[in-house]
Amino acid sequence: MKTNVTGVVAIVIALIALVGTGSSFAFTAATTLAPLQTVEFTHAEVVASQVTVLDSGLDGSSPGDQRFFIVPATSPAGGLLTGSLTVVAAGQPRPSEELRRSDLVFQFGAVEDQLVVGGVAVYEIEDPTLSLGKVVTRPIVGGSGVYAGASGWVDSTHNQDGTWVHVFHYKK
């Protein structure tokens, strides 16, 4: 019996491609359909002693002005928020406002259990933090420890009493 080598090779390649496509589809479906998880991080009002301001040297609000901070969590126990906010556009989108880029690290107790947040938000130029009652949504850019591979977003709310609630919506 004579075997058609070219035909057998073509069938094997087609089967490999079919199985590979199916595996890829299954992986994509599993990761896309993974349910969102949520976790909260709360802290007290941010006070001046927790913030260091680095001014770019130009009068008034200007690109490059920075605020660095470290704020202990009220929940979870042992949590810590560290980070910086940098002015990237003064007088935008309105003359009394500015855009600040964030680099925030939320540590959930153990130092290795972190969610990292970025993005840009609108602030009143005269306010050191978001105005009372304001909510801002920012992207989660990564995580470590129990949050390794996390993606999603966080809704940060500055409550009327000055306290903060950060609700993370993520999947791994």
Please give the Cα distance from 30 to 24 (Å, whole number): 10
- pLDDT at residue 142 in the model: 97
- pLDDT at residue 7 in the model: 52
Please give the Cα distance from 126 to 146 (Å, whole number): 38
* pLDDT per residue as tens, the chain (172 positions): 555 555 544 454 443 444 444 444 444 444 567 789 999 999 999 999 999 999 999 999 999 999 999 999 999 999 999 999 999 999 999 999 999 999 999 999 999 999 999 999 999 999 999 999 999 999 999 999 999 999 999 999 999 999 999 999 999 9
- pLDDT at residue 29 in the model: 47
What does the chain look like in DSSP terms, one character per residue?
Answer: ----HHHHHHHHHHHHHHHHHHHHHHHHHHHHSPPPEEEEEEE----GGGEEEE--SSSSS-TT-EEEEEEEEEESTT-EEEEEEEEEEET-SSTTEEEEEEEEEEE-SSTT-EEEE--EEEEETT-SSSPTT-EEEEEEEEEEGGGTT-EEEEEEEE-TTS-EEEEEEEE-
- pLDDT at residue 34 in the model: 78
In the chain, the amino acid numbered 131 is S
Is 164 within 8 Å of 157 (Cβ atoms)? Answer: yes
State pTM to two decimals: 0.80
What are the Cα distances from residue 23, in Å, to 26, 28, 43, 57, 172?
5, 9, 44, 56, 19
